[in-house]
């Protein structure tokens, strides 16, 4: 992520986690003070009197603040976290997607373009890296494979474009390549080859994508990038964070995925 801290200081999930911690600590201290009778004050050397209850409250508040800061720091240091979505084990991690096992998802545009020229496809984008560094065959062979292995029901109109593929596909369409890579039609392109999606289009993509993946994953884990966190941007949602996109992805995955799907 581009932000200095991945998790905001007052992140809602962090606050909920701290609230549970605070409730547990408060309950424990409350129970303890039922059986412990603190004096009103204690006298230190040189006749310095200290209000015991006030001092205890200050200590507790200080420790709670330290605990919250520690939880926030730890959350920003996390590289991997496991959660459960219904019956599915989901692992959220930072790392190289191409090093993952089983199936790996690569997002293309709605034409499954394969021209890596920093205009149609950026060299540093995920599909740019896939084509330049991972693809073993020729780009022409990949184009032919995609066109031959996608159901005709997923094909939309043929567009007379100056450069790039002309066959447009329904967003969320997938193509399993080399029994390893799930290529999917994600971004919509305008006439200037700019990748854009509206939020309704983004949600429609997720529904179609998860439904398509369900038919091919064969109980293998599927490693998925955060869709929309790269060059493709959501219209009218310029400030959408990776965290927000991830929550949307998980909420839609929860409605459609089978066990052991997302890694």
Q: Which residues pair with residue 107 across a beta bridge?
A: 184
Residue-wise pLDDT tens digits, 49-64? 566 777 778 888 999 9
Residue-wise pLDDT tens digits, 201-251? 999 999 999 999 988 988 888 999 989 887 666 776 666 777 788 888 888
Are 88 and 219 a contacting pair, CB within 8 Å? no
Are 231 and 189 a contacting pair, CB within 8 Å? no
Place of tokens 């884990």: 221
Residue-wise pLDDT tens digits, 174-207? 999 999 999 999 989 887 878 888 889 999 999 9
Q: What domains sit in the chain, N to C, each tagged with a CATH number?
A: 12-78 (no CATH), 84-256 (3.40.220)
Rounded to an integer, what distance in angstroms lies between the CA atom of residue 196 and that of residue 240?
A: 13
Extract the tokens encoding 205.
Answer: 């993509």
Phi first, then psi, for residue 43 (nearest 5°) are -110, 125
pLDDT level of residue 3 (50, 70, 90 thresholds): very low
- Report DSSP state, residue 45: G
pTM score of the predicted model: 0.72
Residue-wise pLDDT tens digits, 20-56? 998 988 888 777 766 776 666 666 555 555 667 777 7
Residue 4 has pLDDT above 70, yes or no: no
Burial class from Cβ neighbours inside 10 Å (0-12, 13-18, 19+) for residue 24 reads exposed
């Amino acid at each position: 992520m581009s932000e200095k801290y991945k998790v905001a200081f007052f992140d809602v999930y962090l606050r909920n986690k701290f609230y549970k911690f605070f409730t547990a600590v408060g309950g424990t201290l409350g129970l303890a003070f039922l059986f412990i009778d603190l004096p009103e004050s204690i006298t230190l050397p040189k006749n310095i009197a200290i209000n015991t209850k006030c001092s205890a409250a200050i200590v507790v508040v200080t420790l709670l603040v330290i605990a919250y800061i520690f939880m926030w720091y730890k959350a920003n240091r996390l590289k991997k976290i496991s959660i459960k979505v219904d019956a599915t084990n989901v692992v959220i991690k930072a790392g190289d997607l191409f090093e993952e096992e089983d199936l790996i998802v690569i997002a293309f545009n709605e034409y499954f373009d394969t021209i890596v020229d920093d205009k149609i496809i950026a060299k540093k984008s995920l599909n740019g890296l896939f084509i330049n560094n991972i693809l073993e065959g020729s780009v022409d062979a990949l184009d032919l494979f995609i066109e031959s292995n996608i159901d005709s029901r997923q094909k939309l109109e043929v567009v007379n474009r100056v450069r790039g593929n002309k066959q447009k596909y329904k967003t969320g369409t997938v193509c399993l390549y080399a029994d390893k890579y799930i290529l999917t039609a994600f971004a919509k392109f305008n006439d200037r080859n700019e990748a854009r999606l509206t939020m309704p289009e983004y949600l429609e993509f997720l529904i179609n994508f998860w439904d398509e993946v369900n038919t091919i994953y064969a109980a293998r884990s599927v490693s998925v990038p955060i869709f929309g966190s790269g060059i493709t941007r959501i219209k009218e949602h310029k400030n959408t964070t990776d965290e927000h996109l991830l929550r949307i992805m998980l909420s839609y995955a929860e409605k459609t995925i089978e066990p052991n799907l997302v890694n």
